[in-house]
Structure 1
Amino acid sequence: MAMCIVTNVAAFFGEVLNVPENEQKAIRRHISLSAILSILRSEKARWNWSQEVAVVTGGCSGFGELVVKRLISKGIKVAVLDIQQLPPSLQGYAGLKFFKCDVTDPSEVYSVAEKIKESMGAPTILVNNAGIMAPHTILTTSDVYLRKIFDVNVLSNWYTTKAFLPDMLRHNKGHIVAVASTASFVGVAGLADYCGTKAAILSFHEALNQELKLHYNSPNVLTTSIHPNWARTPLLAPVEEELKKRNTKIIEPTAVADAVVGRIMSCSGGQVILPSSSGKLSLLRGLPNWVQESVRSGPSKLIYKVVK
């Protein structure tokens, strides 16, 4: 809003002073950029990283462990939630506390949340990273696993957000981040359940962002969804050589962690697609169906090698 006002004022005075149109555009661009930078500086000033508390789910391994280490290096205190035990690589950090927690159990999440607030203070950063994935067709997906993947990948986001968002709303300050996937935008054969969960997280964050502005008048509580494409994980091993033959960029886990922490430190929300060249996938739904099917067939054929 502030940026729009500043830009309109610049346009008004440009006309009054008879400034040429091309110069008016240059002035508006400069002022708009200045306004954005001013807003970001103002927002960053509200964050004192040594006083902030972050919660990271699934923080004992993979992307989560890397995120935890980076947050600690920034001086942020971190509460790690996981059903696994804290690995040796995360032990010994003064600003880290481990809480064994099954994030699929709402009562357990709410109980642990109170313990975190009592021992560390109210968290201002929430990183929903916990997730599982296993390739199989729709017909070979067990009912038990289907329930589990939605509990872990989707419903846990509701529980943690309900546990920590109220304190963020009270101060109109916070940042909720989810590690999603480009599967949020593309349905892949053999990963119907996983793609469904990641599409749900995208919708969750879009709706949460709007609720923060419209229902809670808390636009400074930020939301970010991170959407990595092919990332180097154990699942990728069977198809990694084929991806290399296709010159497909494989993302290192460190790049995902850097994106999460970079967004937090920049005090800006939004959607981040990795690599940036995969950003066009977010436009896929607007293309003719035959184009969509052609795009979806690429990753589907790769996963088929794992499923068959």
Structure 2
Amino acid sequence: MMFLIRSILETIEFIILFIYYSLEAFILMFFSVRKKVAGKIVLVTGAANGIGREVALNFARLGSILILWDIDEEGNKETAELVKNNGALAVYTYKCDLRKKDEIYAVADKVKKEVGDVEILINNAGVLKGKAFIDLPDSDMAETLEVNTKAHFWTCKAFLPAMIACNQGHLVTTSSVAALAGSNKLTDYSASKSAAFGFLESLAFEMRAAGKEGIKTTIICPYYVDTELVTGVKTTRPLLLPILDVRYVGKKIVDGILKEKLYIVIPPYIGLIVLKLFLPKKVVFLLAEYLGLFDNLDHFRGEVRRGHNAED
């Protein structure tokens, strides 16, 4: 009897808080509540080009200290020059092969010694192979998982302890709309992005359960973005789902981080794709075909630049 009463009271409390927090979030939409990042140490992986470069530039304009990781040293240096010219308090570049756990840990140790504890960690680097599963070499599958998923484990292992110690910090993962909906020729990519999504979401709950509410998390799910990573990708419904401008996406990501959003879906309405869980099978396939999930990568030409390009 007592268990039933307690359960009813907990449910009532949940409903009241659910309504309160929802109204609070709605009201805050009309106010510009943004975290201050001037002087904060921000690490961006995949910074040599694409979204990584744009995110770094936006943080530079806010006076942050930038740490840029990429396997592409030349592109990373170009980003560093741009960041310096756009107001970064300081900028540091490191070559890091995100396929290698030991190298990630070694470079992370250098960062902590030479710069300090990372306060905002942005796991952005990614690779996309765009091959049918049966034609996908095991080595390609392994690389996709190493860069798009496992690297997030190792960077968070390296930098999270310092955040926990002071109950302050922000972890950011560039996942993808592909984590919410599969697509033809994206078996490895969708799997890796779904895993990255699940990893950070679970870690967010873990931090909350441990009372570390000062550690924020943000999961980014963009549609295809106009970068080298998706060279040749076409969208079947350009009016509904256009290939996104990389500068626009970079601004939206940083704006979402400043507002400490838990999820950033770009464009926001594509998040409705999760409603597929409630649709009949034939409707799901019909929707997937209509949105181009069967043929978006028919003209994909692969990654132009060797290395870990910025996401999507």
Note closer, same or farther for the CA distance 1:299–1:50 as it changes in structure 2 (3 Å cut). Answer: same
Offset of residue 241 of structure 1: 7.0
As a proportion of its length, which structure holds more helix? 1
Partner of 1:258: 251
Larger relative CO (CA 8 A, sep 6+): 1 or 2? 2
Offset of residue 104 of structure 1: 2.1
Matched residues in 1 for 2:26 and 2:43: separation? 33
Within a 5 Å distance, the mapping from 1:28-43 to structure 2 comes to: 32=24
2:47 to 59, 64, 70: 59
Name stretches of at least 5 consecutive residues in structure 2 with no aligned partner: 1-11, 302-312
Partner of 2:179: 184
Matched residues in 2 for 1:243 and 1:73: separation? 34
Check whether the contact 1:137–1:307 (CA below 8 A) recurs between aligned residues: no
1:88 to 70, 78, 96: 78
Partner of 2:266: 274
Q: Secondary structure at the match of 1:79?
A: strand
2:110 to 103, 111, 115: 115
Query: How many correspondences in the alignment?
Result: 279
Q: Which has the larger radius of gyration?
A: 1
Counterpart check, 1:171 vs 2:161: no
Check whether the contact 1:239–1:302 (CA below 8 A) recurs between aligned residues: no
TM (normalized to structure 1)? Answer: 0.80
Matched residues in 2 for 1:293 and 1:31: separation? 36
Matched residues in 1 for 2:224 and 2:93: separation? 30
Name stretches of at least 5 consecutive residues in structure 1 with no aligned partner: 10-24
Partner of 2:222: 228
Check whether the contact 1:190–1:307 (CA below 8 A) recurs between aligned residues: no
Partner of 2:276: 284
Matched residues in 1 for 2:279 and 2:138: separation? 33
Note closer, same or farther for the CA distance 1:58–1:87 as it changes in structure 2 (3 Å cut). Answer: same
2:212 to 197, 215, 218: 218
Matched residues in 1 for 2:300 and 2:24: separation? 51
Matched residues in 2 for 1:136 and 1:56: separation? 27
Offset of residue 276 of structure 1: 1.4
Note closer, same or farther for the CA distance 1:304–1:254 as it changes in structure 2 (3 Å cut). Answer: closer
Give a deviation string over 1:152-187, Cα, whole Å, max 9, x none: 000000000101111111111111111111100111
C-alpha RMSD of the superposition: 3.1
Offset of residue 112 of structure 1: 1.4
Identity across matched positions, percent: 25
Offset of residue 243 of structure 1: 4.2
Within a 5 Å distance, the mapping from 1:116-155 to structure 2 comes to: 116-155=111-150
Check whether the contact 1:63–1:257 (CA below 8 A) recurs between aligned residues: yes
TM (normalized to structure 2)? Answer: 0.79
Offset of residue 91 of structure 1: 2.2
